[in-house]
Amino acid sequence: MRYSLVARTTCSCYLQPRPPLTTGKKQQRSLLISLVALVTMLSVARADTIQVGLYQNEPKIYRDDQGQPAGLFVELIEAIAEDQGWALNFVDCLWADCLSQLAGGNLDLMPDVAYTPDRAGQFGFHQVPIAQSWSQLYAPPGSALFSLSDLDGRRLAVLRNSVQYHYLAAAAADSDLNLEFVQVSSLQDGFSQVESRQADAVVANHFYGSRHRNHHGLTETPITFNLVGLFFAAAPDADPALLNAIDAALEAWQADAQSPYYAALVRASAIPAEQRLPPWARLLLLGVIGLVILLLATSAAMRWTIKRRTAELHATHHRMTQLLEGSPVVVYALQMPDLEPYWVSGNVNRIFGFKPEQLVAADTWESHLHPDDHALVTGTRDRILSSQKRKQEYRLLDAQGRVRHIRDEQQLIHNDQGQPEVVGTWTDLTPYYEQEAQVRYLRQYDGLTGLPNRRLLMDRLEHALRLARQNGQTIWLLFIDLDRFKVVNDTRGTSAGDELLRLVARRLETLWPGETLARLGADEFVLMAETHHFDPALASQQVLQVLREPHQLQQDSTMVSASIGMACYPDHAEDADHLLTCAELAMVEAKKGGGNRCSEYHPALRQLTTAAFELENALRHALPRQELLLHYQPQFNLHSGDITGVEALIRWQHPERGLVSPAEFIPIAERTGLIQALDHWVLEKVCQQLRIWDQVGMIVPRVAINMAAASLEDGQFADWLVQTVHRYRLTPQRFELELTESMIMQAPERTITLLEGLRRAGFGIAMDDFGTGYSNLVYLRNLPLTQLKLDQSFVRDIGRSRPNESITRAIIAMAEALDLQLLAEGIETDAQRRFLTEAGCHLGQGYLLAYPQSAEALGDSLGSRDQASRRA
């Protein structure tokens, strides 16, 4: 059986029994766990059998002598399955084969998988780890292996495609170690390789190594690494409820010392019976030991004890050193009562560039605190004495003088002599702060020109207006739109257009160094002037003059002009949105006059501005007030008359104006940034409606949805689209995304990459209004399209224009040559339908065939059509 899985972030923490809960909390927790288990059981009740991978890794998972699945992970999943009512099927496979079958969806669960970020991208993981494990090297006695450097020139048996192999391969590459890897398919094979001297040492998890080293005559070495959490991994498409059930059981068990979890963990850690001595041998050994004790001198016994303890301490020291060296967290200790550091872990040199002895010197640590944080840190450090614990984030300067953000966590403890001391850790948070700063920059600045974007402009404008209201100041906005910029993109390419925008931005910046210049759209700039005595007319002429000067572009000179709209506070508008709208309307007025000119907002535009502002404000409330609705226009096979799908068309039921045309409110949504919210709403509603139609047995093969350019530019939209469709348990093949030629050609390379990803996911891609835009055949050939939609202007002129009919036939032939479906829009007469059918166009929509209608009306009409076809 297959599940749909979502990979989840896991917490790699040490397993410890939780402190006892109070009676009230126990009851609350038991109730919560019961509810989670009940919901999980109901969500996976449809499961037939869960396929579980089984490979030999005793004592965690294996088949015993009777051929039955056994081990820590088997006991736990069988207990969960019995509680949940699941059926389990254990599938025998080797380690690497099990992982491949899990990735391919042939297995639902794979026990005993170490969590890594790479694997989290391939599989699903629950949150609560089963156990913690580390990797250890095992070798014949006397091999003298104490650190990784001792492995130089040795043959190392390692499990194929394991985390140990990847870790050691990377370590060998970083330190120029000459390691010869003997990759094996099972740990038993690896231990046999060393036993037969075909390898010098073998890597295994400590569970397996402790259980099997004596059987193969091997001993453990001090070389340990890769402390990891062990989990059940799930197939990429598994149901999240499967992992939730495992987490619910583990949380309940780990809070109860008498639970099956701790019993299974004890059995997995126990020495197997075959490694214990039989009773007669133990009696004989006791007798021999008694004789040895009588014969050996006390001094010899003491020397033996000291030697053994020394070896154990040496091995422990190596383990701790390797763990600290590889850890991303610096550990330190402060002595009392002056709270000065007296020990720092060696990895501080790798992370911050300091040698440990530098930081234990007097006042060295405080001298590297950031000046702005120095008083905060030193002034509160005595709080550890009263609170026992202390957490704080601050900045320091590393050895190279770079600012680093750290989280400092301290705890007051007592050492072996009962003396108090403070143990603390430094965690480097700098990458997270840098990433956050980069996100803030991308949210506020234009990535192409480096100018403030619309968001930052509106923030600054609102702040400037607040000050202007207090001081009686005037604020001017100049809305600058380049004339015929699209021609540059069309003739010179988008890279040349981008370069031209950067050159224009640099020139405009030099005119008003102290003012805010922002880029709003593809070729739109806005200047906000707060200075006194600003002359907008003079400034506009300066813009026109500086743009007239040739721009050197790809070894050629290019000249551009602009249309400029001017508006000011308080004469033209009182708030930021209204003021920007006034400036934009004035720009449109200048562009209507032919461009290369400026226009100031004037009273004749006030009525248009007010109406546009009111409509924009009403549109912002349309979604929360549930004023939007969807109509569906059927699409048909022109030959058979069968319905092939529907197109979802958004409508706005304004409480006062009635139905508002999309041609009126969609441009407002695109200008104000509301269009992405509309796209999200449309997809959610379409998914809900498809589920309703499916439940009542109404067959709608495919729904076409119009997409906005802003959604294509959103890097997260494609992932959200796929996740939403899967959330409603629908297939992407039932959706066709419609885009116009102009949207695709704004950034064809980036758009092609995005559409190829959606096409691979199964979505259909249609080019809407084909024939009215660029009609660039080179890009058309490379686009991952499934359908062209012939613009209704071609259909409308059928029977009235022979050249138009010839062009229509050519488009139909081209679509057939490119193996694309062609759907004709706007069919309103029988003559148009006959012409299209005879010319080879198979699909169509229009008022002749069916009007756009509500989902309920569509259901009634399709039901009537089905009854009529059955009667016929």
Give CA–CA dist 72/80, Å, rounded: 13
Give CA–CA dist 187/203, Å, rounded: 8
705 closest CA partner among 726, 673, 734: 734
| Secondary structure (DSSP) of 539-574 | HHHHHHHHHHS-EE-SSSEE---EEEEEEEETTT-S
- CATH number for domain 445-601, candidates 3.40.640.10, 1.10.600.10, 3.30.70.270, 2.40.50.100: 3.30.70.270
Give CA–CA dist 110/98, Å, rounded: 7
Q: Which CATH architecture has domain 23-131+231-269?
A: 3-Layer(aba) Sandwich (3.40)
Tell how far CA 383 is from the center of its chain.
Answer: 39
In the 8-state DSSP scheme, what is residue 19? Answer: P
In the 8-state DSSP scheme, what is residue 57? Answer: B
Strand 131-139 vs strand 201-205: parallel, antiparallel, or unpaired?
antiparallel
Dihedral (CA of 431, 432, 437, 441) sign: positive
Give CA–CA dist 120/8, Å, rounded: 7
> Are the beta carbons of 737 and 758 closer than 8 angstroms?
yes
State the residue for tokens 């030697």: 307
Residue 36 φ/ψ, nearest 5 degrees:
-60, -45
Residue 671: predicted pLDDT: 73
Residue 40: predicted pLDDT: 43
Give CA–CA dist 644/697, Å, rounded: 16
Superfamily of domain 133-226: Periplasmic binding protein-like II (3.40.190.10)
| Secondary structure (DSSP) of 616-683 | HHHHHHHTTTT-EEEEEEEEEETTT--EEEEEEEEEEEETTTEEEPHHHHHHHHHHHT-HHHHHHHHH
Kind and range of the H or E run holding 757: helix 748-761
Residue 9: predicted pLDDT: 30
3-state DSSP call for residue 819?
coil
Residue 42: predicted pLDDT: 41
* Domain boundaries, given as residue ranges, for the chain: 23-131+231-269, 133-226, 281-322, 327-435, 445-601, 626-871
Tell how far CA 587 is from the center of its chain.
Answer: 40
Residue 287: predicted pLDDT: 63
Beta-strand runs (E) in 96-205: 109-114, 124-125, 131-139, 155-159, 180-184, 201-205
Which tokens go with 231? 């989990």
Residue 699 φ/ψ, nearest 5 degrees:
-90, 110
Residue 37: predicted pLDDT: 44
**Where does 327-435 sit in CATH, by number?**
3.30.450.20
Helix segments in 146-295, DSSP class H: 163-175, 187-195, 206-212, 240-254, 260-269, 279-295
Which tokens go with 463? 């702040």
Single-letter amino acid, residue 371: P
Residue 198: predicted pLDDT: 93
Tell how far CA 824 is from the center of its chain.
Answer: 39
State the residue for tokens 């560039």: 353
CATH classification of 626-871 is 3.20.20.450, yes or no?
yes
> Are the beta carbons of 580 and 568 closer than 8 angstroms?
no
Tell how far CA 689 is from the center of its chain.
Answer: 28
Give CA–CA dist 529/568, Å, rounded: 9
Residue 293: predicted pLDDT: 61
CA distances to 78, 213, 231, 263, 373 from 69, in Å: 10, 22, 18, 17, 58
Residue 15: predicted pLDDT: 34
Residue 353 φ/ψ, nearest 5 degrees:
85, 0
Give CA–CA dist 755/743, Å, rounded: 12
755 closest CA partner among 728, 774, 780, 730: 780
Counting as low any pLDDT under 50, the low residues of the chain are 1-47, 274, 277, 281, 774, 870-872
The two domains 23-131+231-269 and 133-226 share their CATH topology (first three levels equal): yes
Residue 421: predicted pLDDT: 83
CA distances to 355, 428, 431, 441 from 395, in Å: 19, 10, 13, 21
| Secondary structure (DSSP) of 568-622 | EETTT-SSHHHHHHHHHHHHHHHHHTTSSEEEE--GGGHHHHHHHHHHHHHHHHH
